[in-house]
Chains A and B, each alone.
Chain A
Amino acid sequence: MNIYRNKKVAILFMLPALVFVILFIYYPIIQNFIYSLYRWSSFSEVKVFVGFDYYKRLLSDPIFYIALKNNALYAIISIVFQVGVGMILAAVLEEKIMRRYQTFFRTVYFMPSVISITVVGLLFQLVYNPNIGLLNAFLKVVGLETLTHDWLGRSDTAMFAIIATSQWQYIGYIMLLFLVAIQKIPEELYESAMIDGANAIQKFIHVTIPQIKETILVTSIITIIGAFKVFDEVYVMTAGGPGRSTEVLASYMYRAGFRNDEMGYAATIATVIFLITFIVTLIQLKVSKEKNEA
């Protein structure tokens, strides 16, 4: 009997992994959904069944929409800057003249992404400070005094200030992923493009981009999912304020569960976050499958 063909043995070997996945991934997801149907706090003795009340409340909760909008903003801006600009940066660093300095710039751009988010958050809290902050001081020096602003303290700019910090931190990380992808493109493609008389920009559009499509897709998914899970930056820099203007889904979930003693509502928000990221992942799987088939 050929042991490689024995399905039972194969399943037996898969079993430990399967059990762990079920126990630590699927079971909590289902449990979380069940929790969202009850009114309870982490220290209460009784759970009160409320059915889908929390879902109804969520749909009419203005803060939920603020959070959703902020997450969407986060995703869009991150795609433009991290994926878009990160890709361009990578292409520039791969240019022949730049290659000599590539190691230096690679390190410089990558550095912020290894710093702890808390440290970066506190750092930028100071940078944005209207009294002693670097940013306003700089604006004053170059004569743009009219642009000085209480960046984190006003509702209109606080969210953008946080998102900007995130771009600063992660652009180098995404750039590095693109560098790896670009380096894998066969040199001949560029040579033949050159013979055809293509300039640098044409080479980028017609050779580089089609060749790194897969990476563009993956990095886009990473940033979108990351944008919907964002928590630390907001929590450290503004804790959701001023008012509720920088609340994101994760910080709202945290607040509901651990501050307002509404674990059921927190579980509801968690379910929504799960659904959103799950749908994004499904789209990714579908798109990449189509590509492989094409």
Chain B
Amino acid sequence: MKINKLLVLLLSVLLVISLTACQSSQPTGGTDQVEIKFLHKWPQPEYSVYFDEVVEAFMKENPNIKVSVEAVGDEPIKDKLRVLMGTDNQPDVFFSWSGEFAAKFVRSNNALDLTPYLENDPEWKNSIMEAGLEPFTYDGNYYGIPFRINGKFFVYNTEIFNKLGLKKPNTWDEFMTVLETLKQNGITPIGFGNIYPWAACHYITGLNQKFVPQEVRVKDYNPKTGEFTDPGYIKALEYFKSLNDKGYFIEGVNSTEHNMSNQMFYGEQVAIIYVELEEFVEVEENLPGKWDFFKMPDIPEGKGNQNFLTGAPDGFLVSAKTKHPEEAVKFLKYLTNKANADKLVQQLGWPSPIIGAVNEGNSPDYLVRGMKAIEEAEGMALWLDTDIHIKISDVYLPNLQELLNGTKTPEQIMAEVQKVAKEVQSEVE
């Protein structure tokens, strides 16, 4: 029939138009300038200026490379990266958390193996802390370059502590005594906002690490071998729950945002908050000179290494599909050189994994001490939600809210986690 032919004709015309449209978006221009796309996660003007300045300086030094920058916020980048990886339009250099978050890009052949580049430039490799590089390895190869290194600490109000004669707790029992004293004196001990359950997962990250023997935990966090049957996981949940049951957290933890609980700390309504090293700048701005910090107290009965610290590096990967790996690595090298790491520390107050970038000369005392705690730690417990398979994390995390509400018991939660871990085992090849 005629109509059929017409339809075919029209469809093919449409197809041709769309094809040519795609083609015309390919880079034109006859110069040898190479364009690399750079995606980071700090669109906030106070942070993005750092990247803009570094990129500009890099382009001045390398006129044949054009770096186009894109920035997407913390939450949206998790989706954006997933979608971008499915296209041919990948950014050449992109942000990623370490651990499983980066590993899934490695498994799907989206991340370039950076080992040869690091081996060929020992000076570069040796300038980076091993604690920063290690979480970006997969099967013994390096896939990412750390940009920041972060630790999680309890920050407390020194004025309140001094008034009540309290000291930094070293063990969990001492911690409990401190919290009880605060409560007895009418002060809400800990500000905690868990409307998005990553906040609770940072507690569990540390508690799991302290309770579960290292090799068991490493095996469980690996999606291919995860079982989560160690009783330590239940203990961790119980300890965490007791903080809420004993009234050491603020009211309504599951409907409060992390930032809001920080505000309560700055307003001196709560005595302690649990924050990341990168937030120290903000604490100092809001409560200058009236705070100090300690790491998660030791749990002597725990079977994990008590000298670990909760925290992780984050950094950048290079796309496996990039047309210009040399240029992309060159840019990455520039971004992580000593001068720019210094600049990062001074301008933004962020902890850099480049050795010597944070020092007494250029950084405030609290940052130096925080970095020292990271260096002294025997290892890092990476954020649980980026360290285990996303499907397990998706069962684990929302359940932490139920745990706090008392609607599920630790045993029920771990049973659910075990079930999904088994499912994941069969799916990950």
Contacts and interface: CB of A to CB of B under 8 A. Distances in A.
Q: Would you call the interface of chain A mostly helix, strand, loop, or mixed?
A: loop
Interface stretch (B25-33, B248-256, B295-303, B370-378): B248-256
B82 A242 contact: no
A259 B253 contact: no
Contact of A130 (B3, B196, B251, B407): B251
B402 A243 contact: yes
Contact of A19 (B11, B82, B254): B11
Interface stretch (B104-112, B133-141, B203-211): B104-112
Nearest to A20: B14
B254 A131 contact: no
Given A19-B11, A150-B252, A155 B402 contact: yes
B255 A125 contact: yes
Interface in A23-65: 23, 39, 41-45
A242 B254 contact: yes
B6 A259 contact: no
A129 to B, nearest CB: 6
A239 B255 CA distance: 11
Given A19-B10, A45-B108, A242-B405, A259 B83 contact: no
Contact of A155 (B7, B109, B407): B407
A121 to B, nearest CB: 12
Interface residues of B, number: 44
B390 A241 contact: no
Contacts of A239: 195-196
Nearest to B79: A258
Contacts of A258: 78-79, 82-83
B160 interface: no
A243 B10 contact: no
Given A19-B14, A260-B391, A128 B255 contact: yes
Interface string B169-205: 0000000000000000000000000011100000000
A262 interface: yes
Contacts of A86: none
Given A15-B7, A43-B82, A260-B394, A241 B110 contact: no
Contact of B254 (A8, A153, A262): A153
A15 to B, nearest CB: 6
B397 to A, nearest CB: 9
A19 B43 CA distance: 40
A152 B79 contact: no
Interface in B384-418: 390-391, 394, 398-399, 401-402, 404-405, 407-408
A43 B85 contact: yes
Nearest to B3: A11
Contact of B398 (A16, A150, A153, A241): A241
A230 B24 CA distance: 38
A141 interface: no
Contacts of B243: none
Contacts of B79: 258-259
A5 to B, nearest CB: 17
A259 B79 CA distance: 7
Contact of A242 (B104, B105, B250, B402): B402
B3 A240 contact: no
A261 interface: yes
B86 interface: yes
Contacts of A39: 427
B254 A152 contact: yes
Contacts of A44: 86, 108
Contact of A129 (B252, B398, B399): B252
B15 to A, nearest CB: 10
Contacts of A238: 195, 255
Contacts of B401: 241-243
B255 A151 contact: yes
B2 interface: yes
Given A43-B82, A155-B407, A238-B195, A150 B251 contact: yes
Which of B11, B82, B399 has the most chain A CB atoms closer than 10 A to its own CB?
B82
A10 to B, nearest CB: 11
Which of B260, B394, B401 has the most A CB atoms < 10 Å from its CB?
B401
B405 A154 contact: yes
B13 to A, nearest CB: 10
A260 B390 contact: yes
B248 to A, nearest CB: 15
A1 interface: no
A255 interface: yes
Contacts of B260: 129, 132
B416 to A, nearest CB: 10
Contacts of B108: 41, 43-45
B255 A130 contact: yes
Nearest to A48: B427
B335 interface: no
Interface in A238-265: 238-244, 255, 258-262
A255 B317 CA distance: 24
Interface string A149-174: 01111110000000000000000000
A114 interface: no
B148 to A, nearest CB: 23
A243 B255 contact: no
A254 B291 CA distance: 41
User: Would you list the 8 A-B pairs with minimal beta carbon distance, nearest first?
Assistant: A43-B85, A130-B252, A153-B255, A153-B254, A242-B401, A243-B402, A152-B255, A150-B252
Given A242-B404, A261-B390, 8 more contacts: A15-B6, A43-B86, A129-B260, A131-B251, A153-B254, A238-B255, A243-B399, A258-B78
8 contacts: A8-B3, A15-B7, A41-B82, A42-B83, A43-B105, A45-B108, A243-B399, A243-B405
Interface of A: 8, 11-12, 15-16, 19, 23, 39, 41-45, 125, 128-132, 150-155, 238-244, 255, 258-262
